[in-house]
């Protein structure tokens, strides 16, 4: 089957919550990671490390962290949700960023460099028909995940990304965005695009 075009992929990519447990090949994972590391990064530092988790026990432990972090005031996630049946998700990719020495606090360009790579990863997965979701869990207690995965000091977890074939009805596509004229100015803040340009 022909691969989708870039614009087909961008349109279809969306955050998936429900996954089939069908396996994802290592070849596909490698292809996705090769796309991730093509991303731009500040000063070309490429400050990323990806942990690819397939081990059921590690996934089960992540699921346990979700249960511990679940606020009692909120309804539990629905059956099949990746935070509830975490060990059933075929692969979890944890994107870590090397924060550097940080003598003057957070080096924003360096830290931010992880997200173009993550976006490449999400798009590459969608191009292969695979679902993902960019999540940043356990922000109040990041040590839970760093200890579990043995992530050394100086690195931060920037994203935890489930990866697998989307389960119906959580298929790729169908996410809604307003017209770009709603979020675009011409030449100067406040100048709305000319009439008729709203459809662009």
Ligand X SMILES: Cc1cc2nc3c(=O)[nH]c(=O)nc-3n(C[C@H](O)[C@H](O)[C@H](O)COP(=O)(O)O)c2cc1C
3-state SS, residue 139 = coil
Whichever of 168 and 187 has its CB closer to ligand X, that residue is 168
CA dihedral of 92, 90, 16, 33, whole degrees rounded to 10: 50
Q: Least CB distance from residue 107 to ligand X, whole Å?
A: 18
3-state SS, residue 185 = coil
Which of residues 10, 136, 180, 197 is near ligand X by CB under 6 A?
Answer: 136
Stretch that binds ligand X, among 56-64, 103-111, 128-136, 187-195 (CB under 6 A): 128-136
Within residues 13-32, the interface with ligand X by CB under 6 A covers 14-15
Can you tell me which residue has the tokens 């490698």? Answer: 30
| Interface with ligand X, residue 95, by CB under 6 A | no
Which of residues 33, 80, 135, 156 is near ligand X by CB under 6 A?
Answer: 135
Helix (H) or strand (E) holding 75: none
Whichever of 21 and 175 has its CB closer to ligand X, that residue is 175
Q: Are strands 155-164 and 48-53 parallel, antiparallel or unpaired?
A: unpaired
Q: Judged by CB under 6 A, how many residues of this single chain contact ligand X?
A: 8
Cα(129)–Cα(132) distance, integer angstroms = 10
Cα(99)–Cα(28) distance, integer angstroms = 28
Stretch that binds ligand X, among 30-38, 68-76, 129-137, 149-157 (CB under 6 A): 129-137
Q: Least CB distance from residue 136 to ligand X, whole Å?
A: 5
| Interface with ligand X, residue 133, by CB under 6 A | yes
- Strands ordered across the beta sheet of 48-53: 48-53, 91-98, 155-164, 131-132
Q: Least CB distance from residue 54 to ligand X, whole Å?
A: 21
Q: Least CB distance from residue 27 to ligand X, whole Å?
A: 26
Strand partners, 93: 52, 161
Cα(64)–Cα(62) distance, integer angstroms = 5
Within residues 139-198, the interface with ligand X by CB under 6 A covers 175
| Contacts to ligand X by CB under 6 A | 14-15, 133-137, 175
């Amino acid at each position: 089957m022909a691969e989708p075009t870039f614009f087909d992929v961008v349109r279809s990519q969306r955050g998936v919550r429900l996954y089939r447990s069908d396996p994802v090949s290592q070849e596909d994972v490698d292809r996705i990671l090769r796309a991730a590391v093509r991303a731009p990064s500040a000063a070309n530092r490429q400050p990323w490390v990806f942990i690819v988790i397939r081990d059921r026990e590690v996934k089960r432990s992540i699921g346990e962290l979700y249960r511990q972090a679940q606020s009692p005031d909120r309804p539990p996630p629905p059956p099949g949700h990746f935070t509830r049946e975490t060990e059933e998700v075929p692969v979890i990719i944890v994107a870590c960023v090397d924060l550097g020495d940080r003598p003057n606090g957070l080096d924003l360009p360096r830290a931010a460099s992880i997200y173009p790579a993550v976006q490449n990863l999400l798009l590459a997965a969608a191009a292969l028909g695979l679902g993902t979701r960019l999540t940043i869990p356990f922000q109040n207690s990041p040590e839970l995940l760093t200890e579990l995965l043995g992530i050394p000091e100086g690195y931060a977890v920037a994203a935890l990304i489930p990866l697998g074939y989307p389960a119906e009805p959580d298929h790729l596509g169908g996410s809604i965005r307003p017209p770009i004229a709603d979020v675009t100015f011409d030449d100067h803040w406040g100048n709305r695009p000319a009439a008729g340009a709203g459809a662009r």
